[in-house]
Each structure stands twice: as structure tokens, then as C-alpha cells.
Structure 1
């Protein structure tokens, strides 16, 4: 990116316009999440999970191929996040393949742990036959067949996810264990795990009923309900702060369980929170109609200051603990909180005319490891970008 590009992005981050909502906001948020989840795994279907759950606010925000405050009332809106005036060291990045231990035309890296050591993804044909793969320092291992649709991995290599029938699971030290489904609910959707071993997700029941849930890696058959009925949990930070929704409002809960609504950009009565790392969270608000569909607009919160910003990008695939934003569609871009940016490169052995479509789905806490896939010749192949200062 040029200096002028960086200046333009920084200005847009400070003062992006917020159009008036002209749609059914609640329905748009639900539909948008379902579309994002179908795209997240690059064609490995998880529609059956969502259809069985019917959970509002239960889908992570991630990229696509081609084209989550203290216990106070809702925080005041602010057009700008925290800005840094310190000089930024140059960053260089290289893309490389992740090995594929099994065959499959749809092989996608979906998540990375905060340190960048562990990566998780799925390999299959895109017809509900995907197997979960965990890469450790670049070495691939296939999880047991009872694990499907990985959602996240922590710095200890613990992987969590949800099978197609709405059963949550945790994989630790070579053993796969199922998560308890709270009484009165028929399914769960797991989203995140932190370094303390807290697992965050949402339970779903009859009539679109749902409740945020926390499990423990050490005791997967134990659980704690978060907030009131109608809550969802879509992310958890390393200190145990949970983000999600209460009804149609974006919400956060402290590690002690005290909750409060997050700010919503001016002109929008609702927003969703999709994930959180460090003091940062990202989510969506519904914009106007485009091509007969509602355009979902990305937003970012600073959980320390309470500031919320509408982002001038087509989508946000992830947020790093240092605030780096991952824009993942087509040609992935990493944007720092101060607006400076870097475009992730293609693979060095591929000519520009054969670059394919890149998908970036996860970013480490320091912003220096990004994972995803490239789509070309009707095949998805998993990639990792390693960056250095």
C-alpha cells in the first residue's frame, strides 16, 4: 500500500458515514450471519448446524472466498478508536502452503491460536465429510472422526467445535470429549476457547430460544449459563470477558458475569458482536440493499474505551489482540488501529495471471500470522502467511 492509501484508510476509519437503516434489522442480522458461516469454511457445509440451532448471534465473522465495557449502561458512541503516534516498524510477509495429510478438494485453514503456533481447519469435499486438521509448527495431524467443524484453537493446542447435529466437543491431549448440552436445550454452537480453558458458545432450544454458555476444558460436562435467556456468546478473551448479544443488542459480560450493552453506531438500533481478542471486538450492522441482498457492514469496538467505529471495508475476517483488523476477501489486507495497512502477498511461485482468490480467516494476537486458503481451478488449498518486523 502507498502512503496515500494509508492516509485514505486512516481518514475513513475516523469518519466513515453511517447510512440510515431501511431494512428489517433483526432479520438481516440473522440472515447475514448464516451466509457468513456457510462461506467461512470455504464450502465445507455447516448449514445443518445453523438450521438445527436457529441461534441469533451464533456465527463467527470471518472471510469469504471471492467475493465483541464495564458494568455500566451502554457506552457512548465514538467515531474513532484508539490511535497510536509511535512509528511502526516495516513488516514483510510471505505466504506458504500448509501440508494436507488427507485428500480433499476443499481444504481451508479457519483459525490460529494467539501465538501463531497452532492452526486449525477442515479438509473434505464440501459435502459434510470434512475432517478437522490441526497444524502444529507446520506439521499436520488429523483429529478423530467424531470431531467436525473446528471453531477455534488456544495457545495450548486445545481445539473446540460443533458437529453437524449440534453437539459441541473439545479435543485435548489426544482425546476427544463432548460438551454438555444444558437441560431444556437440544443443541449448542461453540465459538471460542481462551488460554484459561474457558469455552464460549450458545445453547438453542425450541421456538428459537437460546442462552449463552461457558464450559471448561477440564470439565466439559459442566457448564455455566451466562446472562438471561435470550443471550448468545460468540467470543471470549484471554481474561474471560465474554462477548455476544442480549436479545438484539451487542453485549459483553465481565469474567465475574456482570453484563452491559455495548454501543451501537449512530443510526442503528442493533448490531452483532462476532469475536473478540485482547481489548478489541468486531461485529456487523445491516446497511442498505445491494443486488437484492442486505449489505452487512463491519464495526469494531475498543472494549477498554467503549469506542465503536463503522469500518470502511466490505467485511472483516478477524481482529488481533493488538487491534490489527483482518480484511479477508479476495486479496487480504491487514489494517492497524491507526489506519496504516499492508496487503498480504500471493504465493511467490504463482504468476499474477494465476493468482486465484485468497481467503483469510484468522489472525494471531501480534498480527504476524494469518491463515486462510486460495481458490483456483475449483479447488481450495490451505495457506499461512508469516510476517516479520
Structure 2
């Protein structure tokens, strides 16, 4: 990996089991998950942010960027700055609204690995006979489909509003192969080694291929098409796509990495960081709203933003959303704040996710298009510290 890849690669999940009865609230850990880490072995990268929260003894939420050596409080404008560095951004929090109500999802769904943009479909992994793993899709507690996956050491998924999905399989040798499940069958996408990061309801797929090219498959059986690479850049990668076909990702060249998006007509648009900020990264897009983060030079302070594709305007998000990881329709986002709560940004108000039905490692994975349904998992720590035991949870924001 290059230095840029290292700076943007997702940090691994928390190691070990928390002592005592601490309740952890970690949006990004669940979102990535032990089996949802997107493989970026040859240049396709993800935002290097992990939000770490520990409740009890006044422990602050921290956000760490791999480009920096230590985590810092997400919302501590008064924190001392290293000598010669810029001060932390002074951002005000959004007004706090009523909690979103939590409940277990109907049916036997355990840990959720993907949620569609409507909030109706969820995907989980189940062990099958002989040690194989099945991908199982549910809707409203009813099983929609299941398919046995090729043997893998890691897998990441994206699900559409019809219950079809893409999965990137990482083999024991580190090779990544993207597959699509559509029309009742699982097939490898054409083009060989690569990753798939999104699938729209009409079957358009976004991803990346060796040796570092953002691509789209216009349909599950199509050959991949490389997305535009502007002059001065040598590599690109895709990190998401919305229903319009707008792809978010990054461009690499000249010793830096720039956030970018590709419009449905194939044109590319760079998103430079504001003056006084480091290079920015995009982490999600839905209904023409892209979300991401940039940092204060020389520090790990993270500032969240959302970008409207139609107007071309970027706006800084309130303090509760310093490192947004999930994008929803109408500019809704999910964020983690230093009171160890996860919030949904809805109509200018921060709505906290209510306490889950059981204690454990809590994480939100997806927001419905209207921003009022959040889906995720509660990972329950066993005596062996197994985080893969859990239940699927939904929050309703009335």
C-alpha cells in the first residue's frame, strides 16, 4: 500500500472484550464489522476514521485518522493544540430532538451486514453445513433469498431496494472477486479481480478494478467500464453510488488524494477541501447528497460535511456529525458524539438513537430514504469476547 492508502484504509475493529458493564456505541465498527471491511489491497480505499466510545469514568469519544498518530476528542474545541498547529474547529452542535425508538427487527436476523436504501431489506451471514457461509436476505422478518458463498476470509456487501446484492469475496491469498446476486443466482462480475461497492435498483453496479480504476457495470452481466480519469491523476477508486448513478470515490496523483464524484453522464467532479483543511474523503451518497469528512492540518480533528450534487454546494455539519459514516436521503446522516450517543441528522435536528433492547456493541448501518428508519445491530459480548453474536435492531424516528 502507498502512504495515501495507509492514510485512508479502515482501521481494524476494537480488540479484546470491555471490562465490566461498559456499553460501547460504535457506528463505524459495526458498519465495517469484522466481515464488512472493504478490501483495498491495490488502491481502492475507504475513509480512515474509526469512532471509539467508552461509557463510564467520563471517557470521551475519539475519532482517529490513520494519517495522525493519536485520536482526539471529536467535539472539544477548547482542547490544547500542538505547538504551531491550527486550532480545533469551533463547531456548534445541532439542537437535540426526541430519541428514535428502538426495537428488534422481526424474525431471527442476527448481525446485519447490509441494508438497502429503503430500510426494508437486510442481509446477514449464516453458517451452513460443512462450514460454508450463506448470505441471507430478509424483509419484514420473512426470508427473501439465501445463497451459499464461495470460501472467503473476508466479505463486504451492498444491497439494493429489490433485495439483490453485490458481495466482494477476499480469498486466503488476498485476491478480491466481486459477485452479484440477481434473478436468483450468484455470479462473478466480469473483469476479474476487483471490488463492488454499490448496486442500484435497476442493476447498475459501481466498484474498482486492478490496478486502481473506478468502474461501473451497467448491468449484472455487463463488462466493466472505466470512469473518467482527469489529467494529472494516475489512479481512482469508487466508494459508493446512489440511485441516480452518481458515483463517489477518489482520485490519486501528484502525491495527494482528492475526493471526487462521477455524474451519470460520465463526467468527473473534484471536491477540494476548504481553505485550511486537509484533503477530504467521501463516505456515502444517497439521493444526490454526498457526505464525508476533512481534517485540520497537523491534527486529527475531523469536520463532517455534506455536499449537494445538484447545487454543487458543500456545508459543514454540526458537531454531532464530525465523522459521518452513513448517508441518507434529503441529506440525512448518522454521527457519533462525545456523550457516547449516536445521532441522526433530520430536518436540522439531531435525533439520538434510543437505548437498544439489550446491552452490547451498538452500531447503525443504514438510513431509509426519508431518514426516519435506522437499521443496525447490537453485538453481544460473550465470555469469549465474540462480537459476532448479536441481534438486528431498528430505530424509528417519528
**How does the TM-score come out when normalised to structure 1?**
0.70
RMSD in angstroms over aligned alpha carbons? 3.6
1:146 is displaced (CA, Å) by: 2.5
The one of 221, 244, 252 aligned to 2:249: 244
Q: 1:222 to 1:61 in 2, by over 3 A?
A: farther
Distance in 1 (alpha carbons) for counterparts of 2:32 and 2:124: 8
Q: Which stretch of the first structure deviates more once superposed, 24-33 or 258-267?
A: 24-33
**Which residue in 2 is equivalent to 1:188?**
194
Superposed displacement of residue 43, structure 1: 2.3
CA contact (8 A) 1:263 1:307 kept: no
Larger RCO, structure (CA 8 Å, separation 6 or more) = 1
Q: Identify if the C-alpha distance between structure 1 residues 199 and 214 changes in structure 2 by more than 3 Å, giving closer, same or farther.
A: same
- How big is the shift at 1:285? 2.5
Equivalence map 1:94-173=2 (5 Å): 94-97=102-105, 99-100=107-108, 107-123=110-126, 131-140=134-143, 141-146=145-150, 149-164=155-170, 165-173=175-183
Written as runs of structure 1 = structure 2, the 5 A alignment for 1:1-389 is 26=4, 29-32=7-10, 40-44=31-35, 46=37, 49-50=39-40, 53-58=41-46, 93-97=101-105, 99-100=107-108, 107-123=110-126, 131-140=134-143, 141-146=145-150, 149-164=155-170, 165-181=175-191, 187-205=193-211, 210-219=212-221, 221-228=222-229, 229-247=234-252, 248-287=257-296, 294=300, 297-311=303-317, 312=319, 313=321, 315-327=323-335, 331-338=341-348, 340-348=349-357, 350=358, 355-378=359-382, 379=387, 380-387=389-396, 389=398
Q: What CA distance in whole angstroms lies between the structure 2 residues aligned with 1:273 and 1:240?
A: 16
What's the CA shift string for 1:319-347, capped at 9, x where partnerless? 11121111258643111252x02112223
Q: 1:139 to 1:151 in 2, by over 3 A?
A: same
Shift of 1:356: 2.4
Q: Matched residues in 1 for 2:51 and 2:105: separation?
A: 18
Normalising by structure 2, we get a TM-score of 0.68
CA 1:373–1:180: 2 relative to 1, 3 Å: same
Q: In the TM superposition, what is the alpha-carbon distance from 1:32 to its structure 2 partner?
A: 4.4
1: CA distance, partners of 2:390 / 2:48: 21
Deviations 1:206-254 (A, max 9, x none): xxxx0001013342x5111101251111111211111111211111111
CA distance in structure 2 between the aligned counterparts of 1:143 and 1:328, rounded to whole angstroms: 34
Q: How many residues align?
A: 319
Quick one: distance in 1 between partners of 2:10 and 2:296?
11
CA distance 1:301–1:61, shift in 2 (3 Å): farther
Distance 1:276 1:26 in 2: 22
Instruction: Mark the CA change 1:60 to 1:322 in structure 2 (over 3 Å): closer, same or farther.
Output: farther
Q: Where in structure 2 are there 5+ consecutive unaligned residues?
A: 14-26, 55-60, 62-88, 90-96
| Residues 26-82 of structure 1, C-alpha deviations (whole Å, 9 max, x = no match) | 4664244777987634323747x33xx232434698987867xxxxxxxxxxx9xxx
